Structure 1
Amino acid sequence: MTQSQRDDAPLAPSLPRTLRSARIAVTAAYAAQGLGYAVIVTSLPALKARQEVGDDVVTILVLGVALTAALGSVIANAVAVRWGSRTALALGLIVQAIALPVIALPTEFPVFAGAFAVFGIGLGCVDAAAAMQGVAVQRAYGRHLLGGFFAAATAAAIAGALLVSGVALSAVGAGVALTCAAVIALAAALAGVRFFAREVPIDEVLPKAERAKLPRAGIWAFGLVILAVFVADSAVSTWSTVYLQDDLAALAWIAPLGYAVYQAVVLLTRLATDRLVPRLGRGRLVAIAASVSAVGCVIIALLPFPVAAIIGFALAGVSAGVLIPVTFGAAGELAPEHSDQVIARVNLFNYAGAILGAVVVGLLAEGPGLGIAFLLPAVALAAILFAVPRFRAMPTRAVAGVAPATSDDPSSR
């Protein structure tokens, strides 16, 4: 049997085209998600000027998006249990496609703020449902694919930032970019209705008494890993440019490079993750990624020089690049019959981490300083090492159905 035959065998061997179509459709959903969020955050200066509001209001809006995204993840779980994750993913994309044009239009502030809240619901719904679909397709293929899916989101986020740059930082230009993102989200949803992976909803598979029997210890372990990663990700995303420009007096063109190299490393490591998991094993790869990124945050905190900080930001990108797809993949295999429910719950930790990274690091900046504040994500990332045994207990090869536990040490295979 050839490699391609093995890849397609787990899900309907007579319909390999259906499996490939599902993979393409899920990749498009990840790309639409990355593009939409990037367009939103990079358009904030222009939108702030149009609405004539200050940074404090923008901060509240961003916090509101994180909170409503958590609600969106809960909605994704409810929809997936009843109608399947493909329905939840299409719904989240459609909600975003509705909210983005409203944000783009010159409306009264209450309508503008409401559209942001609705966008957050769509964002959280897609976050959770895309991971559900990604795990389903990965399981069907019998090999790791989540790194590639998340890489598509990162690449699209870079494209979204360039799109906003290309149409200029103005309210009209931002509206054009937001409308483009809405059209792409809607197209991904409509294509997904036909091509997303088809699963039998949990309501149809398990009796009601069985639906609540979730692997709660595993959910908390993997959820706290996701929380730690997003503490670091949010800290770098929110404060890297500010730290380089205001605290380290870097030149204006150098200051954005911290975030640029961070995103570049995230993209490169996500592209490599699917190949690294079977070679190194989940546990070893998680330990390496967490350690490298923790060291990067320590460098940022203790070496107050622009070059050192940029190197630190680059190293910090390894955690988001590797740990997010690996952790969601492992979470989806905790209890395959409850995969959607588990992923929705693990995804909730995403937003808690994002808020902690942005808010707590900012508060620490007012005291000991912004550089030292990066010891917070360093400690959070180092704490991931306590969860490594959980990853070692998981199989390193994604398989169809329930996979038997295997050793995480490649030398034992």
Structure 2
Amino acid sequence: MSVTTTTSTPWRTRASVGAAYAAQGFGYATVVTALPGLKARTGIDDATISIVLLLGALLAAAGSVTAERVAVRRSSRAALVTGLLLQAAGLALVTTATSVPPLVGAFVVFAIGLGMVDASTNMQGVLLQRLAGRSIMSTLFACLTAAAILAALAQAVLANLGVTTGAVVALLVAAGVAAAVALTIRGTLIPRATADAAAAASAVATPSEAGRGRSRSPLPRAGIWLFGSMVAVAFVADSAVSSWSTVYLADHLDAAATVAPLGYAAYQGTVLVSRLVGDALVRRFGRAKVVGVTVLVAVAGLGLVALVPSPVAAIVGFALTGVGVGALVPQAFSVAGELAPDRLDEVIARINLFNYVGAMLGAVALGLLSEGPGLGPAFLIPALLLLPAVAVSPRFGGAPATGPAGEAGAAAESVAPPTTPISASTEAPPKRGRSGR
């Protein structure tokens, strides 16, 4: 059976996976920035929003688990398309909600789709990197970050229509983007047959009672906890800056209203730059050095925020934090994808669960500590949690492994016509049960 890999249709497949990351970033940022308009439309208060967001995080975790099951039984492509369509439906339903119950119901649909896309984009991204034979994860995450920034700018422009109207229009645009991307990329994402071929080439072939010619490797639980923890601490820092940087500058440092948002803007800007240059740095210096240096920069940035109470120091500190967070997350997923190539979907889905733990911890912990030692010193918490990532950085290794998977891609191309696109017809029949991958 011939299998077409990304090397035979690089621009279509890579563009499709990048578009999926972008749609995810655009949709989530639209929801977050539309909250003021939703408050005005439904009459909910901040406490209710907090509960809805907490529920959303828990449901997104459930969506990540769902993506794992869909990917094992069918493919990560199916999980990704389904998740995007659920997001589109959820976003559209949010625009119809004028009271709390329908709003919560809409968020349930959106959050499950969010979790499914979170997990499945990284499944596709890590597999694409393996088949491409070089580091590309940072670039894929840059697509997400750039789209999130674009969504925030779009919300600002649409606010001229009125807070409520602008939010509704923005949500409808995001719903359209998610649906359009899902329908456009579904035939050019990496199919099941290619994923299985890469996994077979990367694994040690052994007789299997299941009749598939090989047995699955054990699930690498220690590695999942190690690199999942790296994702968690990165999202602790991300959530801390996202949730509290503007509040800290405005309420605790008395920054002007035009200055207070600059901390978060500086952070997002350096996250984007870090991801745009990350792959080139990994190819030149290796993952271990890139992670070690950039995370150390982030620790220094958070220390600056915590110990020097001035608006300028805080903005610079938040910018430095973005350097490390922007590099750590894609590289953690990158190395995690090499732990058990034949169980990639399961590993990535479980690693993805750690981001919700980190996000909730970062938002809640700093809020609680702000009532005690103060919000400024509270930024030492994410700094201290990031320090182990510096110590663990040698475990990230050098450039992403290509070895057998890259050879599988080359072999596949040698037996497939160079112009053959990845299509649904190359997928293997769905497998059922735990031996499905």
Check whether TM > 0.5: yes
Offset at residue 63 of structure 1 (A): 1.1
Q: Which residue of 2 aligns with 1:7?
A: none
Query: SS where residue 309 of structure 2 aligns?
Result: coil
Alpha-carbon distance between aligned partners in 1 of 2:61 and 2:4, rounded to the nearest angstrom: 34
Q: Which residue of 2 aligns with 1:177?
A: 170
Offset at residue 211 of structure 1 (A): 4.9
Indicate whether 1:18 and 2:18 are aligned. no
* Aligned 1:209-224 pairs, distance under 5 A: 210-211=215-216, 213-224=218-229
Once the two structures are superposed, residues 325-345 of structure 1 have per-residue CA deviations (whole angstroms, 9 ceiling, x without a partner) of 111111111111111111101
Alpha-carbon distance between aligned partners in 2 of 1:314 and 1:207, rounded to the nearest angstrom: 54
Amino acid at match of 1:250: A
Which residue among 242, 247, 250 is the counterpart of 1:245?
250
Q: Which moved more, 1:211-220 or 1:47-56?
A: 211-220
Q: Which moved more, 1:107-116 or 1:205-214?
A: 205-214
Which residue among 36, 39, 56 is the counterpart of 2:47?
56
Contact 1:139 1:401 in 2 (8 A): no
Amino acid at match of 2:21: Y
Q: Which residue of 2 aligns with 1:133?
A: 124
Indicate whether 1:41 and 2:32 are aligned. yes
Indicate whether 1:68 and 2:59 are aligned. yes
Query: SS where residue 253 of structure 1 aligns?
Result: coil
Indicate whether 1:399 and 2:390 are aligned. no
Alpha-carbon distance between aligned partners in 1 of 2:64 and 2:154, rounded to the nearest angstrom: 28
Amino acid at match of 2:246: T
Offset at residue 319 of structure 1 (A): 2.1
Q: 1:66 to 1:212 in 2, by over 3 A?
A: farther
Amino acid at match of 2:150: A
Alpha-carbon distance between aligned partners in 2 of 1:274 and 1:139, rounded to the nearest angstrom: 14
Offset at residue 210 of structure 1 (A): 4.7
Deviating runs (4+, > 6 A) in structure 1? 204-209
Q: Which residue of 1 aligns with 2:85?
A: 94
Offset at residue 36 of structure 1 (A): 0.4
Offset at residue 64 of structure 1 (A): 1.1
Alpha-carbon distance between aligned partners in 2 of 1:107 and 1:83, rounded to the nearest angstrom: 37
Contact 1:140 1:400 in 2 (8 A): no
Q: 1:207 to 1:221 in 2, by over 3 A?
A: farther
Contact 1:86 1:129 in 2 (8 A): yes
Indicate whether 1:328 and 2:333 are aligned. yes
Which residue among 300, 323, 326 is the counterpart of 1:318?
323
Q: Which moved more, 1:163-172 or 1:76-85?
A: 163-172
Equivalenced residue count is 391
Q: 1:295 to 1:251 in 2, by over 3 A?
A: same
Q: Which residue of 2 aligns with 1:6?
A: none
Q: 1:207 to 1:30 in 2, by over 3 A?
A: farther
Q: Which residue of 1 aligns with 2:413?
A: none
Q: Which residue of 2 aligns with 1:234?
A: 239
Offset at residue 361 of structure 1 (A): 0.7
Query: SS where residue 315 of structure 2 aligns?
Result: helix
Which residue among 269, 272, 277 is the counterpart of 1:272?
277
Amino acid at match of 1:340: D
Q: Which moved more, 1:348-357 or 1:213-222?
A: 213-222
Q: Which residue of 1 aligns with 2:289?
A: 284
Amino acid at match of 1:281: G
Once the two structures are superposed, residues 88-137 of structure 1 have per-residue CA deviations (whole angstroms, 9 ceiling, x without a partner) of 11011010010001111243311111111221111111011000001111
Query: SS where residue 225 of structure 1 aligns?
Result: helix
Contact 1:244 1:309 in 2 (8 A): yes
Q: TM-score, normalised by structure 2?
A: 0.86
Amino acid at match of 1:348: L
Q: Which has the larger radius of gyration?
A: 2
Offset at residue 247 of structure 1 (A): 0.1
Indicate whether 1:383 and 2:412 are aligned. no
Offset at residue 387 of structure 1 (A): 1.8
Alpha-carbon distance between aligned partners in 1 of 2:226 and 2:387, rounded to the nearest angstrom: 14
Offset at residue 213 of structure 1 (A): 1.6
Alpha-carbon distance between aligned partners in 1 of 2:362 and 2:135, rounded to the nearest angstrom: 29
Contact 1:163 1:177 in 2 (8 A): yes
Offset at residue 402 of structure 1 (A): 5.0
Q: 1:403 to 1:388 in 2, by over 3 A?
A: farther
Q: Structure 2: any 5+ residue segments left out of the alignment?
A: 201-207, 408-437
Alpha-carbon distance between aligned partners in 2 of 1:18 and 1:93, rounded to the nearest angstrom: 23
Q: Which residue of 1 aligns with 2:103?
A: 112
* Aligned 1:141-180 pairs, distance under 5 A: 141-168=132-159, 170-180=163-173
Once the two structures are superposed, residues 20-59 of structure 1 have per-residue CA deviations (whole angstroms, 9 ceiling, x without a partner) of 2111111111110000001000000110121111111111
Q: Which residue of 2 aligns with 1:193?
A: 186
Contact 2:26 2:151 in 1 (8 A): yes
Q: 1:64 to 1:257 in 2, by over 3 A?
A: same
Percent identity reads: 50
Between 1 and 2, higher relative CO (CA 8 Å, sep ≥ 6) is seen in 2
Query: SS where residue 167 of structure 1 aligns?
Result: helix
Q: Which residue of 1 aligns with 2:412?
A: none
Once the two structures are superposed, residues 200-258 of structure 1 have per-residue CA deviations (whole angstroms, 9 ceiling, x without a partner) of 377x9787795572111111110000000000000000000000000000000000000
Q: TM-score, normalised by structure 1?
A: 0.91
Offset at residue 16 of structure 1 (A): 4.7
Alpha-carbon distance between aligned partners in 2 of 1:96 and 1:31, rounded to the nearest angstrom: 13
Contact 2:297 2:321 in 1 (8 A): yes
Which residue among 26, 30, 35 is the counterpart of 2:21?
30
Alpha-carbon distance between aligned partners in 1 of 2:59 and 2:91, rounded to the nearest angstrom: 15
Alpha-carbon distance between aligned partners in 2 of 1:229 and 1:241, rounded to the nearest angstrom: 19
Alpha-carbon distance between aligned partners in 2 of 1:342 and 1:387, rounded to the nearest angstrom: 19
Contact 1:19 1:137 in 2 (8 A): no
Alpha-carbon distance between aligned partners in 1 of 2:51 and 2:328, rounded to the nearest angstrom: 28
Q: Which moved more, 1:288-297 or 1:382-391?
A: 382-391
Query: SS where residue 366 of structure 1 aligns?
Result: coil
Q: Which residue of 1 aligns with 2:303?
A: 298
